[in-house]
């Protein structure tokens, strides 16, 4: 009994000692921002100012917005946060945001995302990679998204429109509530599949189209994936040495095969197309500094995911707000019809460029529902904040809350109101240029922005010229955002009713 009692006491002492060490370490870590003269929100053990990453209770964009609002109410220009014991820097002041994204970009070139080029080649795409490798690849790919290249791909995009109309027509005739995100996801999947891979994805015809299925799987944020991402971002070298991957193996195998088969077919049969894939194949076959097949696949992969999900998200929320505001819907419809009459009723590249109110409507939807609610950067070397006695240390994770800036009453009175007039030329000029950053800004802004906006405008013009939309009772209002997601999405989906005009 004495031995048992002694063993228990030793165990209890060890646990007590370990607990004291952990608590002491937490308390010491939580003084980080105080030691650096930066105001911070009070953290709590064990999650800091974050929440349990495996069981989040709210959308991360909304949590960051609450923290931004708390700092703003105190008059702070920036502030400190903690993810567990790890300090994170949140930027509020728009001049500071401009410095980080553009003016002092050399300090914040990397996003700080984990990727593993050797074991997980699809993860090493333009959005994730950093350093000189990013610079080289960005330089190669930038010409891919010029207005000339957009015009070249435009007809390929328009050729996917009939299936979209056919689907809405069927739902309209049967008076079936429309899961508009699903329908638009099929449309953008077909568009991206055609423009990125030169393939007919058949998402409208096949309920379980492979592209749609693997696209969903690639964006699924499981607890295991969250752990991998957190570990990889915290200890990238260790994660790479352990072969940690973040793209599911079946997703990786599918996209690698699609890209390889497409390249082999085109090169063997001397087939060329006016699409993104052809541009990448040409870069692969150039005589110097060529892309590898894996690099081609990685860029196709991220172009596919970003293209189909973000554009369908923007169109979904745009149609939702127009359905809630029928007078604005009618105003946009009038512009669409007026412009198309000048172009023989055809949707052309030139026609959609003339739709200025369309652009205002989309920009307001992007303000209220930015697909990416935050921007991440990693400080590459010690950075002195201008006009402050503050140093941001090398390796620091920097966060910019896009959602919070877009709802800041200083820039947008009545931010919960959908008002496209905020984006009239006069009103845009009166605001700080970094008060609206749905695509980021500076050298690492979204390279596919033009393509995304182009397919969004085509989709909206196609639908609004033929149908009037109202919110169906199946939509859960007020909207609540999904918790386990990267892209801003509504719980229960958004359901609309369509009426033929």
Q: Determine how β-strand 383-384 pairs with β-strand 374-378.
A: unpaired
- Tell me if 436 sits within 8 A of 101, measured CB to CB: no
**Counting Cβ atoms within 10 Å, is residue 1 exposed (0-12), middle (13-18) or buried (19+)?**
exposed
Sign of the CA dihedral with 222 first, then 227, 230, and 232 last: negative
Considering only CA atoms, which of 89, 88, 108, 77 is closest in space to residue 386?
77
Angle subtended at Cα 182 by Cα 122 and Cα 180, rounded to the nearest 5 degrees: 140
pLDDT, position 226: 84
pLDDT tens across the length of the chain (501 residues): 555 566 667 777 788 888 888 888 889 999 999 999 999 999 999 999 998 887 888 999 999 999 999 999 999 999 999 999 999 999 999 999 999 999 999 999 999 999 999 999 999 999 999 999 999 999 988 888 888 888 988 988 899 999 999 999 998 888 999 999 999 999 999 998 888 777 777 788 777 788 888 888 888 888 888 888 888 988 999 999 999 999 999 999 999 999 999 999 999 998 888 788 888 898 898 877 788 889 999 999 998 888 888 999 999 999 999 999 999 999 999 999 999 999 999 999 999 999 999 999 999 999 999 999 999 999 999 999 998 999 999 999 999 999 999 999 999 999 999 999 999 999 999 999 999 999 999 999 999 999 999 999 999 999 999 999 999 999 999 999 999 888 999 999 999 999 998
CA distance 487 to 490: 10
DSSP readout, 73-121? Answer: HTT-SEEEEEETTEEEEEE--HHHHHIIIIITGGGS-B-----BTTTBG
The region that residue 244 occupies, defined by phi over 0 for left and psi between -120 and 50 for alpha, beta otherwise, is beta
Q: How far is CA 168 from CA 183, 194, 320, 496, in A?
A: 8, 21, 15, 11
Structure tokens at 497: 């009713």
Neighbours of 79 (CB within 10 A): 22
DSSP readout, 155-196? Answer: HHHHTTHHHHHHHHHHHHHTT--EEHHHHHHHHHHHHHIIII
The region that residue 445 occupies, defined by phi over 0 for left and psi between -120 and 50 for alpha, beta otherwise, is beta
**Half-sphere exposure for 43 (CA within 13 Å, toward CB):** 29
pLDDT, position 8: 64
478: preceding bond cis by omega (within 30 degrees): yes
pLDDT, position 3: 53
Q: What is the DSSP letter of 271?
A: -
Residues 6+ apart with CB under 8 A from 353: none
Q: What is the DSSP letter of 376?
A: E
CA distance 276 to 259: 12
Tokens 């999947």 correspond to 189
**Half-sphere exposure for 317 (CA within 13 Å, toward CB):** 25
Phi first, then psi: give them for residue 204, nearest 5 degrees. Answer: -75, -30
pLDDT, position 208: 78
pLDDT, position 462: 96
The region that residue 491 occupies, defined by phi over 0 for left and psi between -120 and 50 for alpha, beta otherwise, is beta
For residue 350, the Cα-to-chain-centroid distance in whole angstroms is 27
pLDDT, position 375: 97
Phi first, then psi: give them for residue 471, nearest 5 degrees. Answer: -80, 125
Q: How many residues does the structure list for the chain?
A: 501
Phi first, then psi: give them for residue 372, nearest 5 degrees. Answer: -105, 115
Q: Which pTM value belongs to this model?
A: 0.94
**Half-sphere exposure for 144 (CA within 13 Å, toward CB):** 25
- Tell me if 487 sits within 8 A of 314, measured CB to CB: no
Mind listing the domains of the chain with CATH numbers? 26-500 (1.10.630.10)
CA distance 347 to 253: 37
């Amino acid at each position: 009994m004495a031995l048992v009692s002694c063993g228990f006491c030793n165990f209890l002492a060890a646990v007590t000692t370990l607990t004291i060490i952990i608590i002491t370490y937490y308390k010491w870590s939580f003084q980080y921002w105080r030691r650096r003269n930066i105001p911070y929100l009070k953290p709590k053990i064990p999650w800091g100012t974050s929440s349990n990453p495996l069981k989040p209770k709210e959308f991360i964009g909304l949590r960051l917005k609450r923290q931004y609002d708390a700092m703003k109410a105190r008059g702070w220009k920036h502030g400190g946060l903690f993810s567990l014991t790890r300090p994170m820097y949140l930027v509020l002041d728009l001049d500071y945001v401009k410095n980080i994204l553009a003016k002092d970009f050399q300090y914040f070139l990397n996003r700080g995302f984990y990727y593993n080029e050797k074991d997980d080649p699809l993860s090493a795409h333009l959005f994730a990679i950093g350093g000189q490798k990013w610079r080289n690849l960005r330089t190669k790919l930038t010409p891919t998204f010029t207005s000339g290249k957009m015009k070249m791909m435009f007809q390929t995009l328009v050729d996917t429109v009939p299936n979209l109309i056919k689907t809405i027509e069927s739902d309209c005739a049967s008076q079936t509530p429309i899961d508009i995100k699903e329908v638009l996801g099929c449309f953008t999947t077909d568009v991206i599949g055609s423009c990125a891979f030169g393939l007919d994805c058949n998402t409208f015809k096949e309920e379980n189209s492979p592209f749609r299925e693997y696209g969903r799987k690639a964006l699924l944020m499981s607890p295991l994936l969250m752990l991998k991402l957190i570990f990889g971002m915290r200890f990238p070298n260790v994660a790479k040495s352990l072969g940690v991957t973040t793209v599911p193996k079946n997703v990786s195998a599918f996209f690698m095969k699609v890209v390889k088969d497409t390249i082999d077919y085109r090169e063997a049969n001397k087939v060329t197309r006016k699409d993104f894939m052809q541009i990448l194949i040409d870069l692969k076959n150039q005589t110097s500094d060529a892309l590898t097949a894996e690099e081609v696949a990685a860029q196709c992969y991220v172009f596919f995911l970003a293209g189909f999900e973000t554009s369908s998200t923007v169109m979904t929320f745009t149609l939702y707000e127009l359905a809630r505001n029928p007078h604005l819907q009618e105003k946009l419809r009038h512009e669409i019809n007026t412009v198309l009459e000048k172009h023989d009723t055809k949707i052309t590249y030139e026609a959609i460029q003339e739709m200025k109110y369309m652009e205002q409507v989309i920009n307001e939807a992007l303000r209220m529902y930015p697909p990416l609610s935050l921007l991440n950067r990693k400080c590459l070397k010690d950075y002195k904040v201008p006009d402050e006695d503050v140093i941001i240390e090398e390796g620091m994770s920097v966060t910019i809350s896009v959602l919070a800036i877009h709802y800041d009453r200083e820039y947008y009175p009545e931010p919960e109101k959908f008002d496209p007039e905020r984006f009239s030329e006069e009103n845009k000029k009166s605001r700080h240029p970094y008060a609206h950053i749905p695509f980021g800004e500076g050298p690492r802004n979204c390279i596919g922005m033009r393509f995304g906006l182009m397919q969004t405008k085509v989709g909206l013009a196609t639908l609004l010229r033929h149908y009037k939309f109202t919110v169906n009772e199946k939509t859960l209002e007020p909207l609540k955002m999904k918790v386990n997601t990267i892209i801003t999405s509504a719980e229960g989906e958004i359901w609309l009713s369509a009426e033929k005009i």
